[in-house]
Amino acid sequence: MICKIHAHSYDELDDIFPDSIKKTHQRLDILRILYHSKTPLSAAEIYEKLNSEHKDNGYAFSTIYRSLSAFEKAGTIVKTVLTTEDNAVYEYRNETHKHYAVCLKCHKKIPISTCPMHDIIDELAKSIPGFKVTGHQMELTGYCENCSKQ
Amino acid sequence: MICKIHAHSYDELDDIFPDSIKKTHQRLDILRILYHSKTPLSAAEIYEKLNSEHKDNGYAFSTIYRSLSAFEKAGTIVKTVLTTEDNAVYEYRNETHKHYAVCLKCHKKIPISTCPMHDIIDELAKSIPGFKVTGHQMELTGYCENCSKQ
DNA sequence: TTGGTTGCAAAATGTTTGCATGACC
DNA sequence: GGTCATGCAAACATTTTGCAACCAA
């Protein structure tokens, strides 16, 4: 089957797909989904998207999980666990990393545009002798506009 | 069975045990463990401690999980999920909440004494219109003194 | 061609739930 | 005594793994 749309949308991934792993169409699909998503996605959400887009061929959960860890290992995506869910979510690692405000009621994830940690992280790192900081995670919890009205 | 040790060590919990739930010896044991722990503990770690301390009577996982959610609901303890593990950890909610630096290799959790978010959280909340902030989570990742030597 | 990748099914892990027994107030 | 909590086992959800078939380089 010839699929122009895919052939086209794969182009944009050429720059970001890690050289260290094989370029399969499953992995390209997974990375494209994360690349375009505005919020981090769980393995189940990725599975949903894959199998609604490509009804003809199935995508297995094992493939998704294995691809996600391959991307994570390569540094292309980031895995995090939000306090409101008990599953992991994944997102494309933009040069500017993201943080989220999570609604405790409807579980909506609202991206926070700026990273306030940037300025204080070096200072903070000094208070932990010998620890080499490579990253950080931050999350606000509370209630979104809709849910706080009710 | 008369157990002086328990009768004694329970005293310190009188002030913090929530009125809203029944005071059973299982819950007292669980809360006492969390109260004394310097790092957040998983359900499995609590299970270990309980069953090594009290070899005579068994503690079920279901009891631990149910007790933990009861305490969490009452606001006595806090549940969080660290990025390095895929299970939840629980800690006693001190008036001064805690953050941790987590080693990506040995998974050691090093408490960060100060909360740098305090000063910036109000400012930050303004950037998310309508969102009511009730809490936050923060975590540094990297390598601890030992592991960064290797 | 060949080693890495996939899909399937089964296993492992962490957590939740139904139900009868038992303990707290 | 009545209600709520416990323990057990079984269910559940998420993630991992073994293995044969398959595909990208």
B88 contacts on A by Cβ (under 8 Å): 86
* Among A18, A1, A17, residue whose Cα is nearest residue A9: A17
The Å distance, CA of A26 to C1' of D21, is 17
Check pLDDT > 50 for residue A78: yes
Among A116-130, B37-51, B128-142, the minimum mean pLDDT is found in A116-130
Contact call for A136 and B131, based on CB within 8 A: no
Query: Which nt sits closest to A65, CA to C1'?
Result: D15
Three-state DSSP string of chain A: CCCHHHHHHHHCCCCCCCCCCCCCHHHHHHHHHHHHCCCCEEHHHHHHHHHHHCCCCCCCHHHHHHHHHHHHHHCCEEEEECCCCCCEEEEECCCCCCEEEEECCCCCEEEECCCCHHHHHHHHHHCCCCCEEEEEEEEEEEECHHHHHC
Rounded to two decimals, the pTM is 0.78
Dihedrals phi, psi of B80, to nearest 5 degrees: -140, 165
Burial class of residue A129 in the structure, from the number of CB atoms within 10 Å of its CB (0-12 exposed, 13-18 middle, 19+ buried)? exposed
A76 touches strand C (CB under 7 A): no
Contact call for B142 and A123, based on CB within 8 A: no
Percent of chain B with pLDDT over 70: 89
Backbone region of residue B75 per phi and psi (left: phi > 0; alpha: psi in -120 to 50; beta: other values): left
- Alpha-carbon distance of B85 to A137, in angstroms, equals 14
CB A135 within 8 A of CB B141: yes
Residue from B81, B87, B107, B123 to probe the interface with A (highest A Cβ count within 10 Å): B81
**Residue B68 confidence (pLDDT):** 98
B81 contacts on A by Cβ (under 8 Å): 81-83, 86
Check pLDDT > 80 for residue A10: no
**Residue A113 confidence (pLDDT):** 77
40-69 on A, CB < 7 Å from strand C: 57-63, 66-67
Across the strands, what pairs with A108?
none
**Residue B105 confidence (pLDDT):** 82
Most confident of A133-137, B41-45, B120-124: B41-45
B129 contacts on A by Cβ (under 8 Å): 145
18-47 on B, CB < 7 Å from strand C: 22-25, 42-44
CATH class, B96-150 region: alpha beta
Between chain A and chain B, the number of residue pairs with CB atoms below 8 A apart is 122
CATH architecture of the domain with range B1-95: Orthogonal Bundle (1.10)
- Alpha-carbon distance of A92 to A75, in angstroms, equals 9
**Residue B6 confidence (pLDDT):** 41
**Residue A98 confidence (pLDDT):** 77
A81 touches strand C (CB under 7 A): no
Nucleotides of chain C in contact with protein CB (under 7 A) are 4-10, 13-18, 23-25
Average pLDDT for residues A55-72, to the nearest whole number?
90
Q: Give B62-73 pLDDT, tens digit per residue.
A: 999 999 999 999
Residue from B113, B124, B131 to probe the interface with A (highest A Cβ count within 10 Å): B131
CB A126 within 8 A of CB B116: no
The Å distance, CA of B24 to C1' of C15, is 22
Query: Domain spans of chain A?
Result: 1-95, 96-150
A142 contacts on B by Cβ (under 8 Å): 131-135
Question: Which long-range CB contacts under 8 A does B82-86 form with residues at least 24 apart?
Answer: B82/A81, B82/B40, B82/B109, B82/B139, B83/A79, B83/A80, B83/A81, B83/A137, B83/B139, B83/B141, B84/B141, B85/B42, B86/A81, B86/A88
Check pLDDT > 60 for residue A4: no
**Residue B77 confidence (pLDDT):** 95
**Residue B88 confidence (pLDDT):** 95
